[in-house]
Amino acid sequence: MTPLQPARGTHDLIGEEFRRHAHVIDTARRIATLYGFEEWITPVFEDTRVFARSLGDTSDVVTKEMYTFADRGGEQVTLRPEATAGICRALVSNGLTQTLPQKVFCTGPMFRYERPQKGRYRQFHQIDAELIGSAEPLADAEVIAMGWHILRDLGFTAAEVMLELNTLGDAASREAYRAALVAHFARHREALSEDSRTRLDRNPLRILDSKDARDAPLIATAPAIHDHLTAAAREFYATVKHHLDVFGVPLRENPRIVRGLDYYSHTAFEFVTTRLGAQGTVMAGGRYDGLVEEMGGPPTPAVGWAAGVERLAMLLEGAPPKPRPVAVLPVAEAGTRDAVELLQQLRTGGVPAEMAYRGNLKRRMERANRIGARFAVFVVPELINDGLVQIKDLDSGAQQDIGRADLIERMMHEYRR
Ligand code: ATP
Ligand code: MG
């Protein structure tokens, strides 16, 4: 029988890979708390309309990438491709639109039917932050500063990961810009890719997002939003940049960062690295003042970001080390009961402790070395009657007899550091 493989585009997280992954999430969760964000868990699948409404019916995610199916009761459901829509749906369904702002952190698996390659999977994971209910530029800057704080704590420098910032302005700015874009691209219609010709009619802003080589030269010469900003939008953008400076976030302006949907406004940003080839974006976000309304709630300003955990985990310098436990070893069968008791006392004291389930002393010692134990504690029947065990520092080789109570205390002290 051929053994079964993981489904295409999915992967297992085991050992070092798991530790890298968990380190990204643990770090994000810790920093999110510093910035006053609370964690929510929303369902992995939702009514398909949650995503169809939020992502727009022309986006790549909706037209090509969603895992949508009718369940056994005939409900159309979709495995979430991203977190924001579910969080906005949850805000409205839980009646939280009157208690704003809500600062939400979220993490979990996302699903997109894509062509798998390095850094691109069909089931992947995101960390996600949403600050819902503030229209102030300080909110945009705070959300970005938190993202940068997380990236910094993961060990990235400004040389490796850089914030690229843009503004989409307000509705009036975007309308003027859209007209300028249509005029520009319509003049070169024949040179555009087929996809971009469709975008020209339906959503010209999204041409700027195209990865098709035929579109690149026309994108390079396209007008920039900055020439079309209203005075209010210009001021908003300047204030975001000012706050980012105070927060200490280095940035590069990139007028090519766009979002194709109408509910996006003002700030749009990406943290980009040169170390992942074509999959260079590790965190992306922006302001989406119209989305909560789209979900049936009142008009509610919001700003947030999402980051791919796998891409961040791949970039980590090293995996966080495995904890090095204390190995408890009965030197003879008769010591088993005392050894188990000791094992439990160590664990109760917060000390990671391990004991092999069977085997002679040699075998048990081999296992202690294999799991990277830091100390070995030998339970010797002749000593235990006097309340003593032997402890061995497996790095220095130093060995001594020690009272059981002293051992527990010393280990608790050792592992508290
Ligand atoms: P891309 O242009 O790479 O397809 P995207 O614009 O679709 O990215 P977003 O929807 O902004 O990505 O998602 C935010 C982050 O989630 C991305 O920057 C990336 O780190 C991660 N991500 C998105 N799709 C995948 C995937 N299929 N596999 C792994 N990570 C992904
Ligand atoms: Mg994508």
Pairing outcome for strands 161-167 and 38-39: unpaired
d(Cα 165, Cα 319) in Å, to the nearest integer? 30
What DSSP state is assigned to residue 62? I
Could you write out the DSSP letters of every residue in 107-147? EEEEE-----BTTB-SEEEEEEEEEES--SHHHHHHHHHHH
For the chain, give every residue range classified as CATH 3.30.930.10.
Answer: 16-170+230-315
For residue 151 and ligand 1, the question of a CB distance below 6 A is answered with: no
Q: Tell me 63's DSSP state.
A: I
* CATH 3.40.50.800 residue window(s) in the chain: 326-412
Q: With cut-offs at 50, 70 and 90, classify the pLDDT of residue 126.
A: very high
> How much helix, strand and coil, in percent to the nearest 5, is found in the chain?
40, 20, 35
Task: Please state, in angstroms and rounded to a whole number, the distance separating the CA atoms of residues 323 and 30.
Answer: 20
Rounded Cα distance between 237 and 244, Å, is 11
Q: Is the CB of 279 under 6 A from ligand 1?
A: yes
- Would you put residue 294 in left (φ > 0), alpha (ψ -120 to 50) or beta? alpha
* Residue 128 CB less than 6 A away from ligand 1: no
pLDDT reading at 260 higher than 90: no
Q: How far is the CA of 20 from the centre of ligand 1 (A)?
A: 18
What's the topology of domain 326-412?
Answer: Rossmann fold (3.40.50)
The one-letter amino acid code at 245 reads D
Backbone angles phi, psi at 218, to 5 degrees: -75, -30
**Nearest ligand, CA of residue 269?**
1
pLDDT exceeds 80 at position 392:
yes
16-170+230-315 CATH, one of 3.60.20.10, 3.30.930.10, 3.40.640.10, 3.40.630.30: 3.30.930.10
Q: Average pLDDT, stretch 34-55?
A: 93
The verdict on the CB of residue 257 being under 6 Å from ligand 1 is: no
Alpha carbons 272 and 74: distance in angstroms, whole number: 41
pTM > 0.75: yes
Answer yes or no: is the C-beta of 60 below 6 A from any ligand 1 atom.
no
The number of the ligand 1 atom at minimal distance from the alpha carbon of 112 is: 27
What is the mean predicted confidence (pLDDT) over 137-143? 98
Provide the mean pLDDT of the chain. Answer: 93
Checking if the pLDDT of 149 tops 90, the result is yes
pLDDT digits (tens, 9 = 90+) for 270-283: 999 987 776 688 99
Nearest CA to ligand 1 atom 21: 308
Spatial distance between the Cα atoms of 179 and 192, rounded to a whole number of angstroms = 17
89, 53 contact by CB (below 8 A) = no
Let me know: does 166 contact 269? Beta carbons within 8 Å: yes
Confidence of residue 12 (pLDDT cuts 50, 70, 90): very high
